[in-house]
Amino acid sequence: MKINPHKNQIDNGTTDMEYVQVITTTESKQNAKEIAIRLLEEKAAACVQISGPITSYFWWNGKIDEAEEYYVVAKTVKSNYKKIEKLIKELHPYELPEIISMDINEGSASYLKWIQESINRS
């Protein structure tokens, strides 16, 4: 197994997988936990981390607003993004939740393999 240095993919001899972190923020630790558990139960993510509270500043309805939030990061494969987006929207209290994906450009081959194996378990 080797990492392709030109892409965020792992070559395991059969298929290339692209890995991402999907990020959202939410208003409460309880909601963040609900999202994390659901993503894991649905095998949409291998790991979900929650941190916070954090303070966010943003434009909303024409003015600068502020909110205390919890930061949620899910590690997964790129092909699971749409599934994760749908699950977050089902559980999220915000009218317009932040849901973004960031490529994992490099990573430990064994960790990336673990991500793939975790979401492919029955």
> Is residue 25 one of the residues assigned to a domain?
yes
CA dist., res. 44 & res. 79, Å (int): 10
Residue pLDDT, tens place only, 4-27: 544 544 444 334 789 999 999 999
> Is residue 2 one of the residues assigned to a domain?
no
According to the model, what pLDDT value does residue 86 have?
Answer: 98
Total domains present in the chain? 1
For the domain that residue 31 is a member of, what is the CATH number?
A: 3.30.70.120
> Is residue 8 one of the residues assigned to a domain?
no
According to the model, what pLDDT value does residue 47 have?
Answer: 98
Give, in order, the Cα–Cα distances in Å from 21 to each of 1, 25, 59, 95, 105: 21, 13, 24, 22, 11
According to the model, what pLDDT value does residue 121 have?
Answer: 76
Mean of all residue pLDDT scores within the chain: 90
CA dist., res. 69 & res. 64, Å (int): 16
Q: Rounded mean pLDDT of 45-65?
A: 97
pTM comes to: 0.85
Domain housing 34: 18-117
Tell me the two tokens of residue 69. Answer: 């939030």
According to the model, what pLDDT value does residue 122 have?
Answer: 62
Which region among 7-16, 51-60, 90-99 has the lowest average model confidence (pLDDT)?
7-16
Where does residue 16 rank: exposed (0-12), middle (13-18), buried (19+ CB within 10 A)?
exposed
Q: What does DSSP say about strands 47-60 and 63-77: parallel, antiparallel, or unpaired? A: antiparallel
